[in-house]
Structure formats: structure tokens, C-alpha cells
């Protein structure tokens, strides 16, 4: 989904089939933590149950959500009100070797004044991929989190982790009671940023476009984005050259309702090529419309980003309870490629088998002739047999929203091609949980985008049909082009020694 400096608090790996994985002890969460994270990789014992999330053991009709989903060739959106849980994944396979899952982010989880939000990206291998914004209509501080199967059980070996955004890596946290959100003086010592927002304005409307401005550049034509979104039963895509792509709730929305915003800024300090932004946003409003959004964006400037400003398109201020946190990413890398010349293949060799997950990000561009776009293929353990890789995608390009399924494709990340505008780079992220296990096929979930004249934003869930441990990761151009100088690929496989089970990774897609 979005990478973050995640700090694992505790983990649970089922030793026997069970209907839920529960985290009832939050005492290990470091003081001052702002945003909660749940990670899940699981399989059903029978049937195809949904995956639910509940908080504080509340099974009342207090949960609401908006979903955007790709399944086979169908792109769809849906809305649910007054449920007994948030459905973060509509199906989970019970087929032999097949595990699915993803991540759930809970902004401002500890507040005791307003409703709680979830932003999740989950996938059922090559069957479905879905982005969901959820709202728990409670002002209680979250002190318990449950991941549940809607029917039957999770199989033994199913895994979940309770984590928080690691405040060790925070660069700024803004909690305005009035005014815009303005984060200045960002250091250029780092490469990638993640930001999480929990937002509402005092604008006398139910919702208003939120403008995200870099370096105080208010010229809309310098920003380009591709968006796809779900709103109630409507699923659509659009593109524009303005700063405003999400909406944020205003003062006429329901009491205690807020908006979630998650940003990943690739190469924000890169002073040679344009930074690339992947973003997710959404809200659920009681008894009326809501929205969930995925976007790929760029600012047409090679200047390093040192300032991020958020404001609506009117003069109203953000209200008390708003929070916006900006984090630098950790640099606990097992592989780091920064190409100084055009290269056909990017290889990360000797992936350690002692951790629970690998996370990777690719930022780049290819020299594919006469094309504004290209894609990068994934190659695991030198396996180039396309039929060993299966995938489900959901993507937006221009005004077209499409879903597609393939039983023979390694294509993973969108990148600009050789005729894209100079200095335009794109890319994305992916992760694989339990990559070293030998009792299952490997599940990969990711997102990518190309902010070009023919732009893309894409969500993907993929399966590698192999029970062997992943020991090597490679990327090649789908169309036999070279990766351009300036392309970067990083990979991590991190252990967390403080937990009783095996370690987990510190950053995620």
C-alpha cells in the first residue's frame, strides 16, 4: 500500500485454525504513538469467507465503509452502512497453498473525541484487490483490534501483526485548531516520505477539495495526477492538472466524521528528476455519499521538496482534532540500487530467509522507444516462466477504469517510457509477507503509477506459484527496454527481535 516506518508491537501466528486473530493488550505501544497499523497474511480452512476488522470488541451496528474493488474483469464500488464490522477483504481463499492479505492503517487511533477511520489495501492473490475506507462510529480510544473470518476459520499459519507508525522517524506532526497545515524545513538528507492525515475543515459545506501544495508552488499547471475512485455504487477514473485531488469533510458533515489521507512521496529530495507521489484518501458520511481514492501524482519540478501545505479551496481552517504526520522512511536495506547508467536488469541477490516479509520500492523510467509508458516485470529466484505468476489488477488511465486478471503475467510496476516528458519518473511499491515459508505460494500486493501524458494508477495482487523461499528479486522491462540512469530500487527484509515469533519488516508498501 504505502511504505511507512512501522514499529511492530506484537505478532500472532496461528498454531491451529481459529475464527479470529485478536490483539487485546496495547500496553506495548510506545507512548506518543499516533497511528495504528494492522498487517495480515492468511488463508481460510474452508470456503471463501470475508476478512473483517472490529475494535474494542464492539459487534454493534457501528461500522461503515466505502470500497473500490477489482475482481476478474469487473471494477466496482460499494457502500455499507451500520454493519457489525468493516470488511477489508471480501473473499479469502481456502485453496491449497494460497494465502492473501495486506495492510490496514488507522489514523489518530488513540483520540477520544471523534470517530475512527481505517484505510486498507488487501488482496486475495489473483482473485481480487480492494481499497477500503472504513469508519467506526465511536469516540472511544481503540484498545483492542480483532481480525475475523466472516465464516469458518483462518488456517493454522495465518499471521497478523499489530504495529504503529514509528515516531522515531517523524519529521513533523501538525495538530491545528485553526489555519492551514504547513510543514516547512523538510530535510533533504532522506529519500522517501510517508504522511498520514486525519482531517476536517470548518468550511460550511459537507466536503471541499483539498489542495496539496509542494514548496509553496500554487501554479496548478505544475501538478499532474491520475485518479481512480469509488463512491457508493460508482467506480470511475479521471485525470487533471491541478493541486486538488482528494476531498476533505467540512463543517456540515456529520458530527465527529473525518477524512483519511495517506501519501507516499518517492524521491522527494531528488534534485534531478521529478518526485512521484502515490496517495490514498477517503471518508464515509452517515446516510449519504462517501468516497475512497487512489492517485498517482507528480509536481513538474526537479527541485527537492522542503515544504508541504494542505488547505481547502476556500478560506476555512482545519478544525480541532485534525492531525497530519510526516515521516522519513527507515534505511535498513538489504539492497540499494541507484543506476548511474542505462541498465537492462535490476537484481537484488541473497535475500535473507530469517525475516517474515520483504518490502521493495522501484522509482524509475525506461528507454522504451516511441512510448510514454512501460512496465517492469518481477522475477523471483530467476523464474521467468510467466505461467508461474498470476495477478489481479485494478487501474485507472484517463477516464477509463478497468480490472483485469491473468494466469500468466509477471508485470508488476508502471514506469514512464522514453518519450515521456524529460525528468518524469514513476514507480511503485510491493511487499511479500512470509516470503521464506515453504508451505505456501507467495502473495505480493502493491501499487504503482506513471504521471505522464498517458497516465496510470494501479493496484495489484499477485501470486508466485512456488512454495520455495524467495532468495532473489529482479526487475526487467516488460518490453525489453533498459532502465534509465537515475532509476532506484530498494529492498528490505527486516527482523524485529523483540517479538516472540520470527521477525517482521519495518516498512510496507
CB count within 10 Å of CB 157 equals: 18
Nearest Cα neighbor of 239 from 388, 456, 487, 421 is 456
pLDDT digits (tens, 9 = 90+) for 254-290: 999 999 999 999 999 988 999 999 999 999 999 788 9
Query: What share of the chain in percent tops pLDDT 90?
Result: 80
pLDDT of 502 reads 35
**The CATH number, out of the four listed (1.10.10, 1.10.287, 2.60.120, 1.10.150), of the domain defined by the range 168-328:** 2.60.120
Burial class (CB in 10 A: 0-12, 13-18, 19+), 197: buried
Model confidence over 66-117: pLDDT tens digits?
999 999 999 999 999 999 999 999 999 999 999 999 999 999 999 999 999 9
| Number of other residues whose CB lies within 10 A of the CB of residue 421 | 14
Residue of 92, 88, 97, 89 lying closest to 48 (CA atoms): 92
Task: Please state, in angstroms and rounded to a whole number, the distance separating the CA atoms of residues 37 and 5.
Answer: 11
The three-point CA angle 477-392-436 to 5° equals 75
DSSP summary character for residue 388:
G
Neighbour count for residue 326 (Cβ, 10 Å): 22
Contact 55, 173 (CB under 8 A): no
pLDDT (tens digit per residue) in 38-77:
999 999 999 999 999 999 999 999 999 999 999 999 999 9
Domain boundaries, the chain: 6-58+73-164, 168-328, 337-492
Is residue 71 within 8 A of residue 48, CB to CB? The reply is no
How open is the CA angle 499-173-57, to the nearest 5 degrees?
A: 50
**Per-residue pLDDT tens for 104-163?**
999 999 999 999 999 999 999 999 999 999 999 999 999 999 999 999 999 999 999 999
Q: Is the pLDDT of residue 507 over 50?
A: no
Q: Can you say whether the dihedral through the CA atoms of 139, 142, 143, 147 is positive or negative?
A: positive
Is the sign of the CA dihedral 486, 196, 127, 231 positive or negative?
negative
pLDDT in tens, 354-374: 777 788 899 999 999 999 999
- With cut-offs at 50, 70 and 90, classify the pLDDT of residue 191: confident
Q: Which candidate, 102, 61, 52, places its Cα nearest to that of 81?
A: 61
| CATH 2.30.30 for domain 337-492 | no
6-58+73-164 and 168-328 have identical folds:
yes
Structure-derived torsion over alpha carbons of residues 228, 232, 234, 237, reported in degrees to the nearest 10: -10
Q: Is the pTM of this model over 0.75?
A: yes
d(CA 43, CA 40): 10
| Phi, psi torsion values for 208, nearest 5 degrees | -150, 145
Say if domain 6-58+73-164 classifies as CATH 2.60.120: yes
Cβ atoms within 10 Å of 29's Cβ, excluding its own: 19
Whole-number Å distance between alpha carbons of 223 and 228: 17
SS3 string of 155-200? Answer: CCCCEEEEEEECHHHEEEEECCCCCCEEECCCCCCCCCEEEEEEEC
Contact, 119 vs 130, CB < 8 A? no
Amino acid at each position: 500500500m504505502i511504505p511507512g516506518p512501522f514499529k511492530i508491537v506484537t505478532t500472532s501466528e496461528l498454531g491451529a485454525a481459529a475464527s479470529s486473530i485478536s490483539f487485546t493488550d496495547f500496553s506495548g505501544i510506545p507512548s506518543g504513538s499516533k497511528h495504528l497499523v494492522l498487517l495480515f497474511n492468511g488463508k481460510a480452512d474452508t470456503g471463501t469467507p470475508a476478512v473483517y476488522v472490529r475494535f474494542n470488541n464492539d459487534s454493534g451496528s457501528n461500522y461503515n465503509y466505502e470500497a473500490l474493488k477489482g475482481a476478474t474483469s469487473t471494477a466496482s464500488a460499494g457502500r455499507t452502512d451500520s454493519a457489525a464490522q468493516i470488511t477489508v477483504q471480501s473473499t479469502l481463499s481456502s485453496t491449497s497453498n494460497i494465502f492473501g492479505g495486506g495492510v490496514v492503517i488507522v489514523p489518530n487511533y488513540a483520540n477520544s473525541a471523534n470517530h475512527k477511520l481505517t484505510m486498507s489495501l488487501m488482496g486475495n492473490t489473483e482473485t481480487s484487490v480492494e481499497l477500503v475506507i472504513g469508519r467506526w462510529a465511536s469516540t472511544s480510544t481503540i484498545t483492542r483490534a480483532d481480525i475475523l473470518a466472516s465464516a469458518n476459520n483462518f488456517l493454522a499459519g495465518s499471521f497478523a501483526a499489530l504495529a504503529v507508525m514509528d515516531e522515531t522517524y517523524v519529521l513533523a506532526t501538525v495538530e491545528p485548531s485553526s489555519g492551514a497545515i504547513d510543514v516547512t524545513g523538510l530535510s533533504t538528507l532522506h529519500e522517501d516520505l510517508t504522511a498520514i492525515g486525519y482531517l476536517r475543515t470548518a468550511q460550511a459545506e459537507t466536503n471541499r477539495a483539498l489542495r496539496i501544495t509542494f514548496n509553496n508552488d500554487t501554479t496548478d499547471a505544475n501538478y499532474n495526477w491520475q485518479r481512480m475512485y469509488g463512491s457508493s455504487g460508482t467506480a470511475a477514473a479521471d485525470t487533471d492538472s491541478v493541486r486538488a485531488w482528494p476531498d476533505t469533510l467540512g463543517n456540515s458533515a456529520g458530527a465527529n466524521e473525518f477524512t483519511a489521507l495517506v501519501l507516499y512521496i518517492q524521491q522527494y529530495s531528488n534534485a534531478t528528476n521529478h518526485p512521484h507521489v502515490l496517495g490514498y484518501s477517503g471518508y464515509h458520511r452517515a446516510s449519504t455519499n462517501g468516497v475512497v481514492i487512489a492517485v498517482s501524482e507528480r509536481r513538474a519540478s526537479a527541485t527537492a521538496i522542503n515544504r508541504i501545505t494542505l488547505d481547502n479551496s476556500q478560506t476555512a481552517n482545519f478544525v480541532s482534532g485534525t492531525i497530519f504526520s510526516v515521516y522519513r522512511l527507515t534505511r535498513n536495506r538489504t539492497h540499494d540500487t541507484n543506476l548511474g547508467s542505462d541498465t537492462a536488469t535490476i537484481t537484488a541477490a541473497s535475500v535473507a530467509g530469517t525475516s517474515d516479509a520483504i518490502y521493495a520500492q522501484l522509482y524509475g523510467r525506461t528507454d522504451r522507444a516511441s512510448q510514454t509508458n512501460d512496465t517492469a516485470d518481477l522475477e523471483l529466484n530467476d523464474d521467468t516462466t510467466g505461467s508461474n505468476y498470476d495477478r489481479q489488477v485494478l487501474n485507472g488511465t484517463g477516464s477509463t477504469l478497468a480490472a483485469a486478471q491473468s494466469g500468466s503475467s509477471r508485470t508488476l510496476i508502471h514506469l514512464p517510457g522514453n518519450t515521456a516528458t524529460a525528468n518524469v519518473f514513476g514507480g511503485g511499491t510491493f511487499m511479500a509477507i512470509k516470503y521464506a515459508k515453504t508451505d505456501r505460494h507467495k502473495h505480493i500486493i502493491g501499487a504503482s503509477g506513471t504521471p505522464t501524458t498517458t497516465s496510470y494508477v494501479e493496484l495489484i495482487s499477485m501470486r508466485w506459484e512456488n512454495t520455495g523461499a524467495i532468495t532473489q528479486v529482479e526487475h526487467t522491462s516488460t518490453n525489453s527496454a533498459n532502465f534509465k540512469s537515475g532509476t532506484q530500487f530498494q529492498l528490505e527484509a527486516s527482523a524485529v527481535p523483540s517479538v516472540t515469533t520470527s521477525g517482521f519488516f519495518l516498512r510496507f508498501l
